[in-house]
Amino acid sequence: MDAAQQEATARARELQRNWYGEPLGALFRRLIDDLGLNQARLAGVLGLSAPMLSQLMSGQRAKIGNPAVVQRVQLLQDLAGQVADGSVSAAEATERMDEIKKSQGGSVLSNTTTTTSSSGAPTVKRVVREIQSLLRSVAAAGDIIDAADALAPSHPELAEFLRVYGAGRTSDAVAHYQSHQN
């Protein structure tokens, strides 16, 4: 990717952050993780082609043009929050995704319901995924590991944090988070 393409991608991601609350790549990856989907299934539920979803995720394209797709994204965010807090089972989520796929609708994406459970508190998994997403938006896993290795001699706790959240599995990061909440 040349400098002009990198600049265009960065600009698209900034527009996405302004319009949708975060870059769509991070939002869609979280939906994929939370709902156990792959990109093709997510594209199908949203009513997008797989190439269009890929372009939105990579920042090659900034905006979702169809208001019904924006509404489906919102519905999936709400569903992912319910799955994360345990109020909706995986089987129920699959049924709901089929309903969402058929829905038509609104035009506004709200980022307020995506980080809270039904009690209003962020779920541990959601907090961990937000930390992972932020770190991974800044640097690739290999670079994060290199930084952790450089920090390890003088700051072992920070190095561990970088390794666990920047390049580790979500389940390991959840365990790390919970062990440090005393």
The Cα–Cα gap between 122 and 6 comes to 33
pLDDT tens digit at each of 182 positions of the chain: 789 989 999 999 999 888 888 899 999 999 998 898 999 999 999 999 999 999 999 999 999 988 889 889 989 998 988 888 788 888 888 899 988 998 775 444 444 444 444 444 567 777 887 888 788 777 778 888 999 999 999 999 999 999 998 888 878 888 888 888 76
Helices (H), the chain: 3-20, 24-35, 39-46, 50-58, 67-84, 90-102, 124-138, 141-151, 156-167, 170-179
Domain boundaries, the chain: 1-104, 124-181
Using the 8-state DSSP alphabet, how is residue 180 labeled?
Answer: T
Report the pLDDT value the prediction gives residue 86, as an integer from 0 to 100: 81
Report the pLDDT value the prediction gives residue 182, as an integer from 0 to 100: 60
Kindly list the distances between the CA atom of residue 174 and the CA atoms of 9, 12, 32, 132, 163, in Å, as whole numbers in the listed order. Answer: 31, 31, 18, 11, 13
DSSP string, 89-119: -HHHHHHHHHHHHH---------SSTT--TT
Using CA atoms of 80, 28, 133, 109 in order, give the dihedral in degrees to the nearest 10.
Answer: -70
The Cα–Cα gap between 6 and 132 comes to 22
Report the pLDDT value the prediction gives residue 131, as an integer from 0 to 100: 85
pLDDT, tens digit, 9 for 90 and up, residues 99-152: 899 877 544 444 444 444 444 456 777 788 788 878 877 777 888 899 999 999
Pick from 105, 117, 113, 37: which is nearest to 72 by CA? 105
Report the pLDDT value the prediction gives residue 172, as an integer from 0 to 100: 84
Within 8 A by CB and 6+ apart from 34, the residues are 80, 83, 84, 129
Residue type, 136: R
The Cα–Cα gap between 29 and 34 comes to 8
Report the pLDDT value the prediction gives residue 122, as an integer from 0 to 100: 60
The Cα–Cα gap between 131 and 77 comes to 18
The values of phi and psi at residue 151, to 5°, are -80, -25
Pick from 96, 67, 64, 102: which is nearest to 79 by CA? 96
Report the pLDDT value the prediction gives residue 114, as an integer from 0 to 100: 42
